[in-house]
Amino acid sequence: MFWQQIDSFIPANSPLAPTDQSHHLVFVGDRLLAPADAPHWRPLHQEEWRWLDVDRKATHYLGTLDGHPCYAEDVEGPAPSGYNSIDLRSLLGLANADLFAAAGRGWQIVQWHRDHQFCSRCGQPAADHHSDRAKQCASCGLIAYPRLSPCIIVLVHRGEELLLARSPQFPAGMFSTLAGFIEPGESAEQALAREVKEEVGIEIAQPRYVSSQSWPFPNNLMLGFHAEYASGEVRPDGVEIIEADWFRANALPKVPGTVSISGWLIQSYLASLQAS
């Protein structure tokens, strides 16, 4: 099995001019506009964007979607009539992996542009860099690139048992894999061993990289692993993890779907058990 392939959205930085078939991801605050009559969520077409009655703040080129230029549009004002707005998390259940990746990239770039108008070193205005996707301070020259926070996410297994856990924010009954931020100076494997130990008190062995996913809540790159249980008793830390346990492969609780890498790590491990 392979991680859900993203092949129709191709990120790029060198802007292409809009065409009749361009796609526009329109952000109002932290919500995305969608035509109210569309059966599934979709970006706006070029003609819809051209006539949209909103206050336009900034346009960011994202790359190509289905071979056509795709842009994130930062606008103000209420959603115009004929349009709904949804939050990005809701999009997880409404869009395929390509659309979710495009929207996630758009949201991260829109947020970065809004939040980096001034230099973090000297406080003077920062302008778009002449060639890179970056902001450069006109006064001191400091260059700031969009922020990306690498995280590990891991399914720990013990034969036919999977270690799944609940964080306080999860919907009732939902369990998932463990995850955490990689700290400065750490390798992904070190972060993985540390996070699992901190969150549930056990030691792991044989971490094996499986796949990755951009996760725009707010700007994470999730590096997905499988790892074997080595030693220790499961003891949730009570803060980030309120409940954790071993579940047999044929008796799993409610887990995330495979649009998220957590769901994918679980399903790919179940598939490897069936294959063995």
In the complex, which residues of this chain contact Zn ion (CB under 5 A)?
119, 121-122, 124, 137, 139-140, 142
Q: Show the CA angle centred on residue 189, arms to residues 183 and 193, nearest 5°.
A: 85
- Closer to Zn ion by Cβ: residue 137 or 191: 137
Q: DSSP string covering 193-254, please?
A: HHHHHHHH--EEEEEEEEEEEEETTTTEEEEEEEEEEEE------SSS-SEEEEEETTS--B
Residue 59's CB is within 10 A of a number of other CB atoms, namely 15
Residue 73: helix, strand or coil by DSSP?
A: strand
- Closer to Zn ion by Cβ: residue 86 or 142: 142
- Closest distance to Zn ion from the beta carbon of 117 (Å): 12
- Closer to Zn ion by Cβ: residue 118 or 246: 118
Which residues of 1-105 form beta strands (DSSP E)? Answer: 9-11, 23-28, 31-35, 44-45, 55-65, 68-76, 83-87
- Closest distance to Zn ion from the beta carbon of 124 (Å): 5
- Closer to Zn ion by Cβ: residue 147 or 158: 147
- Closest distance to Zn ion from the beta carbon of 126 (Å): 7
CB contact at 8 A, 27 and 73: yes
Hey, what are 271's tokens? 């598939």
CB contact at 8 A, 149 and 219: yes
CB contact at 8 A, 212 and 261: yes
Bridge partner list, 209: 225
- Closest distance to Zn ion from the beta carbon of 196 (Å): 40
- Closest distance to Zn ion from the beta carbon of 128 (Å): 15
- Closer to Zn ion by Cβ: residue 38 or 140: 140
Any residues with CB less than 8 A from the CB of 188 and at least 6 apart, and which?
150, 152, 182, 209, 223, 225
- Closer to Zn ion by Cβ: residue 124 or 206: 124
CB contact at 8 A, 44 and 37: no
Q: Tokens 């930085």, residue?
A: 13
- Closest distance to Zn ion from the beta carbon of 111 (Å): 21
- Closer to Zn ion by Cβ: residue 21 or 124: 124
- Closest distance to Zn ion from the beta carbon of 146 (Å): 18
